[in-house]
Every structure is written in C-alpha cells, then in structure tokens.
Amino acid sequence: MAKFGEGDARWIVQERPDGANVHNWHWAERDCLEWSRARLSALLAGLPVLSGEGGLTLRTTTLDKLDGEAYVNIRKGKVIPGYELSLTLSWEAEATSESGVAKVTGAAEVPYLADENADEDPELRITVRGDEDPLARRAKDAFIARGKPLVLEKIREYVATMAKGGPAKDELDSKKIPTKTAAAIGGTATAPAPAVKEAAAPAPAPVSKEKKAKGKEKEGFKTIEMKEKFNCRSKDIYEILMDENRWKGFTQSNARISKEVGGQFSLFDGSITGVNEELQEGKLIVQKWRFGSWADGVYSTVRLVFDEPESGVTIIKLKQTDVPEEDRYGNSTVVENTERGWTELIFQRIRAVFGFGI
C-alpha cells in the first residue's frame, strides 16, 4: 500500500482552489434540522379539523417540540436523506352549547419518525391535557377520527420532500441542466436563479411587456383580499398587530416586531419575516412579507387599511399582492395556506383572546 501522499495522482481527488465540489464527487452533507422544524411547523400548525360540525370546532395549533436529527447526504446527484425525529403538536377544541363555550386542549405526539421507516406511517399518540371529562373524550375521539389522517398526510408530505433532497432540492435541480445548455434554450425554470436574474437585468426588451401587464397579476403569483370586522377602536387592533408581546400572547409563538418604517419583523418563530414600508397609527400598515419556504428573494406586499365607520367598530381591509403559487419545494398550497393563516391564526385568535367580537 502506498504511503499517504505517494499514491497515483490519477486516483487522488484534489481540493480545488475555488472550493467547488465538482459533480458532487465528494459526499456533501446538509444539516436539515432547522429546515425540518420550519417545514413541519408550516405543514402541521393551524390545520382545521372540524369547523362546527356537531357543535365542535377542532384544530391543531402549534408545533411545540421537535427533537432529533435530520440531514441530507448528496454524492454525484444521489440523495440519501437521514432523520430520526420526535415531535409534539398541540390541538384545541371548542364546543358551543346553551351554557356557553367550553374549551379542551391536547397533544398529538410522534415518538419516532425515521428514514428507515419512510414507507410506513409513524405512530401517532393523541392525548388530552387535563381531566378526561365527556367533552374531552369526545374531542379526543374526533381528533383520532378526523385529525389523525390529516396529520399523517402532512407528515408523508414532509417525508416525500426529504426524499427529494429537502432544502438541497433547488441546488440539485440547478445541476441537472448545464449553464450553457440552459442559456441556449432561453433559461428555463431549472436553471440556477442567479443566472436568470443576471441575464434578465441588462435586457431592454421586457420594458414594453411590463407596461402591457401593468395592473394584472404576474404569472405564478396571486393576490389575497379580505375584509374583517372587529368590535374595538382602530388604534387598539393596530397596536396589537405592531406589538411583539401581544403577538406572542395570541399566537403562542415567538415574535420580533419593529415599530419603525424600515424596521424588520419576524413572526411565528421566524417562519414569516419582512420589513415595514409604511406605518400610520390606527390607519395603515404596509409591509414586505415572506415565508421562509418561499424562493429566495420573493416578497409579497401586505397592505392593511383600518377604517372606523363608527365608534368601537373597526373594519380591516387586507390586500396581499405577489403571493407565489408555489414554494421552493414545489408545494402548490401557498395561497390557500396564507389566506387560511390570516383568518384562523391571526384574526380569529385576536377576537378570541382580546374579546373583539365573533
């Protein structure tokens, strides 16, 4: 056996000065734990299970815990995912009767989610927090019957995404078509994003196209519009939306919010980030706003207009433009999930926590 450093040079993989891992010859390992935390939170938190059927409202709330490890190994374009995770998801139920509204909370626990069992659904344990009275048992049974299949479906979606490379999927896709070939066919969607931007920047032709498309939605993007009524002053709800401590209270998640124009914000444990563009107390909030799962550089514009037609009544008009139809992982439920998030995770929770009407 040759001594170290004396082997035939034809068989030695040299370190390149530019650090490039040509054709992924070397093993490249990507840590996916934080990505998995964000991805599973986006998939599992805020899922409606029952919407009043039989007087019962049931939904998941937050991903409380994710422990373990997750990574993706890549060599010569081959993806080898590895993960061993345990997670806990909270759920809540509300039952309406003549005596009022009763609330039950519980947890859905996956003790072991691993790549070695990727072709099987993991064990899912459903429990109630507190005493198991008749209402609690009813809510638990309803979650087992209706919520369990929904949670397992979302977990299968995570497993499928990991099998394709997880957060490294875009990098792999960009390597499928060489740069020169991509340029020759006009820069298709599989070409690396930076190359598309660099090629598009100096081209004068698109100017006329932009003028024609003015006032229309960009291809691949949608606009969300909704109107919400609250029994409070416009100043009150404006302050709630701009106060990080109140955000933490009604969402039960971490938040950082600047109250200055140009200041940044981070919501739902960092799943949503952005920048304040225009602020008028009690009247207007305009923000650049994005999910971490969206493609790099993609921001929507959120515009919240506050109107107080009468004392103690506020109407919020929301318009969110440039919402992508798909995220970076190819999931096509972005618009639906974003709209549902505004309704169920923000507006409805503000009403419930602060008592601003039903």
**Close Cβ partners of 260 (under 8 Å, ≥ 6 residues apart):** 276, 279
> How much is the pLDDT for 75?
65
pLDDT band at 8 (very low <50, low <70, confident <90, very high): very low
Q: Which helix (H) or strand (E) holds 230?
A: strand 221-230
The stretches of the chain forming alpha helices (DSSP H) are 33-44, 134-142, 148-163, 169-174, 179-184, 193-200, 206-212, 234-241, 244-251, 334-340, 348-354
Query: In the predicted model, what is the mean pLDDT of the chain?
Result: 79
Q: What is the mean pLDDT of residues 308-332?
A: 91
- What's the count of helices (H) and strands (E) in the chain, helices before strands? 11, 13
> How much is the pLDDT for 178?
42
pLDDT band at 192 (very low <50, low <70, confident <90, very high): very low
> How much is the pLDDT for 172?
53
Q: What is the mean pLDDT of residues 103-109?
A: 94
> How much is the pLDDT for 184?
36
Q: What is the mean pLDDT of residues 306-314?
A: 91
What does the pLDDT look like over 226-276, one tens digit per residue?
A: 999 999 999 999 999 999 988 888 888 888 999 999 999 999 888 899 999
Q: What is the mean pLDDT of residues 157-184?
A: 62
> How much is the pLDDT for 356?
82
> How much is the pLDDT for 282?
92
> How much is the pLDDT for 201?
41
Q: What is the mean pLDDT of residues 280-305?
A: 94
Q: Of 145, 93, 148, give the one whose Cα is nearest residue 125.
A: 148
3-class secondary structure, 317: strand
> How much is the pLDDT for 79?
76
pLDDT band at 212 (very low <50, low <70, confident <90, very high): very low
> DSSP label at 123?
P
pLDDT at 111 over 50: yes
Check residues 118 and 218 and name the one with the higher pLDDT: 118
Q: What is the mean pLDDT of residues 311-320?
A: 93
Highest mean pLDDT among 83-87, 97-101, 171-175, 269-273: 83-87
- Over pLDDT 70: what percentage of the chain? 76
**Close Cβ partners of 150 (under 8 Å, ≥ 6 residues apart):** 47, 49
Q: Which two tokens stand for residue 248?
A: 């933490």
Q: What is the mean pLDDT of residues 331-340?
A: 88
Q: Which two tokens stand for residue 58?
A: 């049931």
Q: Are 298 and 288 in contact (CB under 8 A)?
A: no
* Phi-psi map region of 106: left, alpha, beta (phi>0 left; psi -120 to 50 alpha): beta
> How much is the pLDDT for 60?
94
Taking residue 275's Cβ as centre, other Cβ atoms within 10 Å add up to 16
pLDDT band at 182 (very low <50, low <70, confident <90, very high): very low
Q: Of 226, 246, 225, 236, give the one whose Cα is nearest residue 314.
A: 236
pLDDT at 15 over 50: no
> How much is the pLDDT for 355?
81
> How much is the pLDDT for 180?
38
> How much is the pLDDT for 211?
36
Q: What is the mean pLDDT of residues 15-41?
A: 65
Check residues 358 and 40 and name the one with the higher pLDDT: 40
> How much is the pLDDT for 161?
87
> How much is the pLDDT for 219?
86
